[in-house]
Structure formats: structure tokens, C-alpha cells
Amino acid sequence: MSAANAPSGWRLLVAVAVLLALTGGVAARVVMLQAEEERNFLKRQGDLRTVRTLTIQPARGVISDRRGEPLAVSTPVFAVWANPREFRPDHPGVESLAAELDFTADELRARLARRAGREFVYLRRQVSPGRAESIAALKVPGVDLQDEYKRFYPAGEVAAHIVGITNIDDEGIEGLELAYQAWLTGSPGRKRVVRDRFGQVVRDLEYLATAEPGRPLQLSIDMRLQYLAYRELTAAMAEHRAESGTVVVLDTRTGEVLAMVNWPSYNPNAPVTSQFERLRNRAVTDLYEPGSTVKPITIAAALESGRFDVDATIDTAPGHVRVSGKLITDPLNRGVLDLEQIVARSSQVGIARIALELDDDILRGAFGRFGFGQITGIGFPGETSGVLPEAARWPLIDRVTFAFGYGMAVTPLQLAQAYSVFANQGLFRPPSLLRLDSPPDALRVMDEEVARHISRMLESVVRDEGTAARARISGYQVAGKTGTVRKIGPGGYDNQRHLAFFAGYAPAVNPRVTTVVVINEPKGSQVGGGTVAAPVFARVTAGALRLLSEPPDLPHLLQARAGGDS
């Protein structure tokens, strides 16, 4: 090549070198991009296998009594689950895993083999943290743990009918757990985590949403009184070999339920697999003919009608009266009785003669104002409204039997609500199972002066001349009424099966608590309200007054009451 041609050849070489360099750079960049894309792809694929978004279960709200004692709390436990597609039946930890889950190894393998097409199978729910730790340490592929909660009820059977229970998914299915499901349930959270090759969480990456626990629920119940009432009711059940029983204690001044117990009960901490009738809160679901406990309402209707005054007398001779062919009787001929004596001695004839003088709508209207025939509004699942028949064209015998508590049906809570009207001098307050900051507005449903007269009559029931001397409480004057009701059997009213009632309040002046006791089918020689239910009332109410620091009645007041001062 000549010298003249040298620059041209040099330029060509430079151009070729530059082209090669550019080509190499592009190729390197392509290689780098491919490598980076492959790394990203592999990372994404790895993340799909190791990074997961988990749900964080919220703790259910605590249920407590009025003093803050816990009645229902949630404790952290674990669910053990498996992905059958990843499970290795030949793994050396399978034998130990099966033992921790209360299976045999063959049962565990067969269980997952039957679900081979699924990706999620529960193996055991609500496993304790200690056992869950042992399971995690086995590192069986495809087996993992999930956080959850288990409900625990410290008061056990004593508060079971009020608090209720949850199912295995921590959802309320009975009692206030069911009624306040939305209130007690929190909001779940979410977090991203990294799992190892055994499926165990090894690192939290980030929290996507915070779990919000459920809201607390404070009840009106005072567990001191709840334990007391349950103890006394259980003792009465054993003594009288009764079928069932209920005690309700209300704070007369606020309407709050201080105690509500039933027998038989159940243990909410153990699975309920049979005897579902034990789950019923009989205080609000079961209906009873109230018998003589409602005679004071008939007297109140008579006084408010203007057809009777407080000094009126009724001739009950010769101890019986026939109405529409039916014979209404007293145990003996008591002759002429005033209204207080009719209540104190629970005269059927006296009440029958009064009912015959009243119009149907006057009588029924009085019972309706006391809350019978309608739910109390307490918000308890399964509460019944009772039975209050319409008054249009009642036959005379129906009016008479209605007047002394037959032909209608009430719950124990409704009866306690009604007696609180007498205790509050004619003011009606709805009951509450939640603790109240202040008493609700009261509705006047009965003349105040009439209520005072009825209260005096109810005091006479507990004195010597009355049917409930065993309802007395030392240091306090009591007002109340017995009831002994024959139950309906296949052939009509059964003389061998009874309900024993006592409903009342104390102290009689400015009452603090209203208590109702119902004993269903007591057996033995004593079946009446005065001998079976009244003693339970006395023990429960006396204990309640002490626990609530209610001062005893003044001695001169007790003396005046005992003397029949009206």
C-alpha cells in the first residue's frame, strides 16, 4: 500500500474497531439485561414460593362483670394445617406429628391422601402454644401453623347462660356472645412474611394492615351475687330434687340485672355435644303460669278502677265459689277478709269475687302495663314475650282464673320486672344486662298511692299471718308474694307436678333489690312457694343486701311494720 493511501486505511481500521466495540457493548448489555431479567424472574418465582401475605386474627373483645372481673377472654392458640400437595408422607417427622395431633401415622397419611387435590386442609384447631412449638420443630414439609384464638370462660357454668359461647371459628353462637357478635369481633390485619422451605415463617417483611381487637363489653352482673345465687339455687335443687330452677336479681333503682342463674347449667369451656336443653337461659326463654304471684296486680287493678277502696272487705264464706260450673276453693272458710288479708293468705275465693266485679279490659290492661305479653328489650337471643290473652269477650271463668295467674304465661325476668314496679312506687324501668352509667327514664304505669298500698300488703305476706314467713331477712323488712302452680299434664292440671315461686324485694321501704325464684317440679312433702322458693329468696336477697352495703331497717320502722301499721 502506498503512502498516499495510508490515512484511508487507518480510518477503516478505526471504524472497524469502533464497530466491534459497539457491537461488544450491545452484546454485553444484552447479556446483562438477560441476566438481570432472569434474576428478577427467579426472585419472583422464589417469592411466590417463600413470600406470603398472612391474615392477622384480631382478639375478641373481653366480656366482664360490673366490677371488671373477666367473664370471657380470648387466649392465643394455633391451627395446624397442611398442603397435601407438598406433604411428604415418608418424612421422618410424620410419626411424631401424628402423635401430637392425636392421630396414628396411617390415619394422618390417609387423611391427606384423600385430599391430595387440595392446597389447604385443617389438621387440628385450637392447639396450645406448647404443642404448636413441638409441631413446628418437626419441620414436616407442607405442614404449617396459623394464629387463632380460643375463648376462655373463667366463671364456667355459673355465668354460662348469660355470657354464652363461641364456636371453633370464634363466632358467638349462644348468649351475649351471639347478641353482641358485631361489637365483640375486631378487624383482621395483614402482613407479608418470608417462609423457609418447610413452610415456617422466618421473617416478617411488612405490616399491610393492623389488626383491631374487638370492643370490650361490661355487663350489669355482679359476680359476687351471681356465685351466691347459683350456690343457693343448686342447693335447693338437691334438697327438693327439682327438675330445674331460676333466680333473677334486679337492682330495683336502675333495672340492672345483678344476677341471673339457672339450673341445670353447662360448662362453656368444654365442647357441648349433647343435652342442648342445658344451653337455654330459662330466665328469658321459658314460660310459666305465674299463679298467685300476680294476685297483687289484680288488687291494683281493682283499686285503680274505683270500684274498690283500700278498706274494702270481701266475704269468702263458705270457702268456695262456683263460676261457670267450676268450683274455686280456699283451703278453709276464712269468712270476711280485707284486701290485705286476701293477699297475705292468698285467697282464691277473694280474688275470684274481685275479678267478677271488674271488666275484662281493665284487668288485662293492668297486666299489660306491667310488661307482660311483650319482650323486655333486654336484647337476649331467644327471649320470649310470654302469653297475655286478648280480653275481648272472656268467659267469666277465664277472667277469674286469669286474675290469679292461670291462662297466661310469663318469664322469670318479666315477673321480676313487674315486681320492680311495686318496689318503685308505680314506676316502670326496663331491665338491662349491660352496666348503666345512670338509671334510664322511668315510666309511670300505676298510681303512686296504689303502689304504696300494694307494697304494704306484700309486707304482710312475710309476717306471721302470711304465706311466706320463711322469706324473712333479719334486720330488713321484706315485701313479696308466694305462688304454687299446678303444671299442665296430659289430662289437664296435674296435682303431682308443681311450680314454686317467690317474688319480692327488700328493704320494703326504698328497696334495693328485687328477686324472683322459680323452682320447677320440686319433689317430696314440700312443694309450695312459701316452703321451697321463699327460703332461697331470703338467703340470696340477704347476701345481696350485705354485699351491696345496704344498711338495715331502723328498729322503730321494723316494729311499726310488724304491727301492721298501714
Per-residue pLDDT, averaged over 141-146, amounts to 90
pLDDT over 70 (residue 29): no
Is the per-residue pLDDT at 53 higher than 80? no
Nine-digit cell string for 560: 311499726
What whole-number percentage of the chain has pLDDT above 70? 84
Which band of pLDDT confidence, cut at 50, 70 and 90, is reported for residue 26? low
- Say what the pLDDT of residue 41 is: 46
Beta-carbon contacts of 104 under 8 Å, excluding residues fewer than 6 positions away, are: 98
The phi, psi pair for 346, rounded to 5°, reads 55, 55
Pairing type for strands 257-263 and 326-329 reads: unpaired
Helices (H), 101-174: 105-113, 129-138, 160-163
Question: Ramachandran region of residue 103, left (φ > 0), alpha (ψ -120 to 50) or beta?
Answer: beta
3-state secondary structure string, 138-149?
A: HCCCCEEEEEEE
pLDDT for 190 equals: 74
Bridge partners (DSSP) of residue 73 are: 152
pLDDT of residue 194: 73
314, 350 contact by CB (below 8 A): yes
pTM comes to 0.85
* Domain residue spans of the chain: 55-218, 223-266+281-562
Distance (Å, rounded) from C-alpha 391 to C-alpha 377?
24
pLDDT of residue 193: 66
pLDDT number for residue 42: 46
Residue 156 phi, psi (nearest 5): 55, -135
CATH number of 55-218: 3.90.1310.10
pLDDT (tens digit, 9 = 90+) per residue, 479-519? 999 999 999 888 888 889 999 999 999 999 999 999 999 99
Return the axis-axis angle of helices 360-369 and 295-305, rounded to nearest 10°.
120
For residue 52, CA distances in Å to 44, 61, 202 come to 12, 28, 11
At residue 398, does pLDDT exceed 50?
Answer: yes
Task: Please identify every residue annotated as catalytic.
Answer: 292
Binning pLDDT at 50, 70 and 90, where does residue 45 land? very low
Peptide bond into 381 cis (omega under 30): no
Class of the CATH domain delimited by 223-266+281-562:
alpha beta
pLDDT at 566 over 50: no
Q: Confirm if 146 and 79 have CB atoms less than 8 A apart.
A: yes
The pLDDT tens digits for 151-206 are: 999 999 999 999 999 999 999 999 999 999 999 998 877 767 676 665 566 666 66
Tell how strand 443-444 and strand 189-195 pair up.
unpaired
Q: Is the pLDDT of residue 229 over 60?
A: yes
β-strands 63-64, 217-218: how paired?
Answer: parallel
From CA 387, how far away is CA 427, in angstroms rounded? 23
Is the pLDDT assigned to residue 556 strictly greater than 70? no
Residue 37 is predicted with a pLDDT of 56
pLDDT band at 32 (very low <50, low <70, confident <90, very high): low
Per-residue pLDDT, averaged over 440-469, amounts to 93
Residue 564 clears pLDDT 50, i.e. is over it? no
Name the average pLDDT for the chain: 89
Weakest mean pLDDT among 52-56, 137-141, 487-491: 52-56
